Amino acid sequence: MLHADGTQAADDDALFVEQIWRLGPIAVPFRPGARLDPTPTPALANGFVTFASFNHPARLNDATVAAWARILKGRAGSRLLLKYRYFLDPVLQQAVLARFLGHGVTAERIVFEGHSTGPDYLKSFGRIDLALDPSPAPGGTTSSEAVSNGVPLLTLRGPDFYSRVGTLRLEPLGLHQLVAESWDDYVAKALALTEDLAALDALRAEVRPRFEASRSATRRGSRPSWRTPSARCSSAGRPAARRRTCRSSRREDKALRRCRTGRSGAEFPLAKAGARRRHWPTSDRRGPTTCRPSLSDANGP
């Protein structure tokens, strides 16, 4: 079992029958696409704070809504931007507004937006002062996109891997001040971060450089974390893995022969896998690397 640092609580190792191998401070690298230059904290010009979440509305459970409502009530004049394609549905909007109204937050404090792409999507990050992660279902790609675009992201450390995805994005960057340990801590951090806008702007200026300097930003940077456990896994499991590969290869070869003679077009996917394996260079203990027939062999008779 491969774990990044912080994936599970320390005392959870005893719950696994598998051997735990540590990958270090990062598990999954993230390589963003096109990005715009980071912008200053928008509240400096707007005069009000904008919190935001670009997550699927199903992630907004009762605990998350309650915490966000406390934040909005604690920061006068602030707004919450909820952006996702489903938020254009009037029925969903009314349901969400009713949930916040139940905590004393009026409708004008909530802003709904739908899906956008390209420059319009990237410009949306320039309107956010502080991104808010839901819990226990935090954002994955959403969180990474916020951080890579220079937006501070506040997340809650949960009890298990799924609820710690946001933590795994931030702690390897040294942004520990953006990781809360409880909902009370989460609310307190959100209010403290948006109390001093100059300090928030200074933090914002650090987010993208920290991301770009980290191993999160490059696939190559994460390779050292994988090499040792990968080598051990390969060494420990080679005999069994080799036997499984041989059985699989025989099935693929049989399907390939049947497709060539037109006897079984239904086996084409399996035959295609066999042809792909033949096309790639292979090497084993019996001899040097060889190159076998191309993928076009799987195209039938």
The per-residue pLDDT for range 33-52, each reduced to its tens digit, is 777 888 999 999 999 999 99
Q: What is the mean pLDDT of residues 61-69?
A: 97
Q: Is the pLDDT of residue 77 over 90?
A: yes
pLDDT at residue 288 greater than cutoff 70:
no
pLDDT recorded at residue 36: 82
- CA-atom Rg of the chain in angstroms: 25
Q: Is the model's pLDDT at 268 over the cut of 70? A: no
Same domain flag for 174 and 227? no
Whether the predicted pLDDT of 204 surpasses 90: yes
Tokens of 91: 């029925």
Give pLDDT, residue 249: 58
Assess whether 248 and 158 both reside in one domain.
no
pLDDT of residue 282: 42
Largest Cα separation within the chain, whole Å, is 75
Give the confidence band of 82 by pLDDT, cuts at 50, 70, 90. very high
Of 153, 188, 218, the residue at which a domain comes to its end is 218
Q: Taking Cα atoms as reference points, which of 140, 178, 174 lies closest to residue 156?
A: 178
Secondary structure element (H or E) that encloses residue 141, with its range: helix 141-148
More confident: 229 or 61: 61
**Within this chain, do residues 213 and 234 fall inside the same structural domain, yes or no?**
no
Same structural domain, 134 and 32: yes
CB 230 within 8 A of CB 249: no
Please tell me the predicted confidence (pLDDT) of residue 280.
44
CATH assignment of the domain containing 185 = 3.40.50.2000
Mean model confidence pLDDT for the chain? 78
The pLDDT, as a whole number, for residue 172 is 82
**Same domain? 213 vs 289:** no
Instruction: Give the chain's domain count.
Output: 2
Sign of CA pseudo-dihedral 72, 75, 76, 78: negative
CA distances, 106 to each of 65, 81, 235 (Å): 13, 14, 61
Q: Which two tokens stand for residue 128?
A: 């956010």
Place of tokens 């949306």: 124
Is 93 found in the same domain as 190? yes
What pLDDT is attached to residue 198? Answer: 96
Query: Which of 36-50, 69-83, 285-299 is the least confident region?
Result: 285-299
Q: Which of 39, 36, 37 is nearest to 201 (CA)?
A: 39
Say yes or no: 207 and 83 in one domain: yes
Q: Do 289 and 156 belong together in one domain? A: no
Q: What are phi and psi of 287, to 5 degrees?
A: 180, -175
Residue 269 pLDDT: 54
pLDDT band at 159 (very low <50, low <70, confident <90, very high): confident
Indicate if 54 and 203 belong to the same structural domain: yes
Residues 271, 252 contacting (CB under 8 angstroms): yes
Top mean-pLDDT range of 102-111, 265-274, 278-287: 102-111
Residue 256 pLDDT = 58
Render pLDDT for 20-33 as a digit per residue (tens, 0 to 9): 777 766 655 677 77
Q: Which amino acid is at 2?
A: L
Q: Of the residues 197, 218, 239, which one is the last residue of a structural domain?
A: 218
> 153 and 226: one domain?
no
Residue 102's alpha-carbon distances to 42, 61, 69, 106, in angstroms, are 29, 14, 9, 9
Contact 49, 129 (CB under 8 A): yes
Answer with the residue of higher pLDDT: 247 or 50: 50
Residue 51, Cβ density class (10 Å: 0-12 exposed, 13-18 middle, ≥19 buried): buried
**The pLDDT value given to residue 275:** 52
* CA terminus-to-terminus distance, the chain: 44
Domain boundary among the residues 199, 218, 237 is at 218
Instruction: Give the residue from 226, 67, 224 showing the smallest Cα distance to 154.
Output: 67
- The predicted pLDDT at position 255 comes to 59
| Residue tagged 């076009």 (tokens) | 296
Question: Are residues 213 and 226 both part of a single domain?
Answer: no
Mean of pLDDT values over 80-102: 97
**How far is Cα 166 from Cα 21, in angstroms, rounded to an integer?**
21
Q: Tell me the pairing of strands 130-132 and 110-113.
A: unpaired
270 has a pLDDT exceeding 70: no
Q: What is the pLDDT of residue 70?
A: 98
Q: Which of 98-107, 214-223, 273-282 bottoms out in mean pLDDT, i.e. has the lowest?
A: 273-282
Q: Is the pLDDT of residue 299 over 60?
A: no
At 234 the pLDDT is 55
Domain that residue 179 falls in: 2-218
- The answer to whether residues 92 and 207 belong to one domain is yes
Count of C-beta atoms within a 10 Å radius of residue 19: 12
Closest CA to 96 of 138, 136, 146, 86: 86
Looking at residue 1, its amino acid is M
Predicted structure pTM score = 0.70
